[in-house]
Amino acid sequence: MKRALKTLLADVRACTICAAALPHGVRPVVQVDDAARVLIAGQAPGRRVHESGVPFDDPSGERLRDWMGVTRAEFYDPKQVAILPMGFCYPGTGKSGDLPPRPECAPAWRAPLLDQLRNVELTLILGRWAMQYHLDDAPRTVTEAVLNWKKNWPTVVALPHPSPRNQSWMKKNPWFEEELLPKLRRRVRRALRKGL
């Protein structure tokens, strides 16, 4: 890892930009190395991830690793997989689940961190907030973005959030598991193999 990235990550981990707005306190959760081949652009850490400090250390992470066809060791190797949510700290819970990522985080940190990730071959975009940031002419709905997965293939793939709450979405969209996931697993494997 280059010195500039180490310094940047130290600044991220010391960040308090939105501390006053975070009901559970500041705990930035990111996983970044300049050698990473796959980037996961998610929303924000959930409560369990906030407590552990480990990205996707929850049922969503288990499902995401299955979708990608990777082991825990591969997933948590920052030289292979970078995990960079739109908000780095747990935003708290609202009426229908976790609150959106804090709006201060992405403008402060996203561009400088993404500039360090020059080896990324595949970006997986999870959820509406990440799609609005990463996709030109972002579709109005997550379903529309995922349906149009071929548009940015093979470098960018929009995915629904892997939360167990999205079980009904999975049932309504069987093509996702039948058509997209086998291709996604092969694409992830190819990207990671190049980094070895």
Q: What is the pLDDT of residue 195?
A: 60
- Asked whether residue 192 carries a pLDDT value surpassing 80, the answer given is yes
Q: What is the DSSP string of the chain?
A: --HHHHHHHHHHHT--TTGGG-TT------B--TT-SEEEE-S---HHHHHH--TT-SHHHHHHHHHHT--HHHHT-TTTEEE--SSSS---EETTEEPPPPTTHHHHHHHHHHHH-TT--EEEEESHHHHHHHSTT--SSHHHHHHTGGGSTTTEEEE----GGGHHHHHH-HHIIIIIHHHHHHHHHHHHHHT-
For residue 17, give both structure tokens: 């930009």
User: Predicted confidence band at 14 (pLDDT cuts at 50, 70, 90)?
Assistant: very high
CATH number, domain 3-194, options 3.40.470.10, 3.30.1300.30, 3.40.50.9100, 3.40.50.300: 3.40.470.10
Phi, psi values for residue 52, rounded to 5°:
-85, -30
- Asked whether residue 5 carries a pLDDT value surpassing 70, the answer given is yes
pLDDT in tens, 23-80: 999 999 999 999 999 999 999 999 999 999 999 999 999 999 999 999 999 999 999 9
Give pTM, 2 decimals.
0.94
pLDDT in tens, 80-135: 999 999 999 999 988 878 889 999 999 999 999 999 999 999 999 998 999 999 99
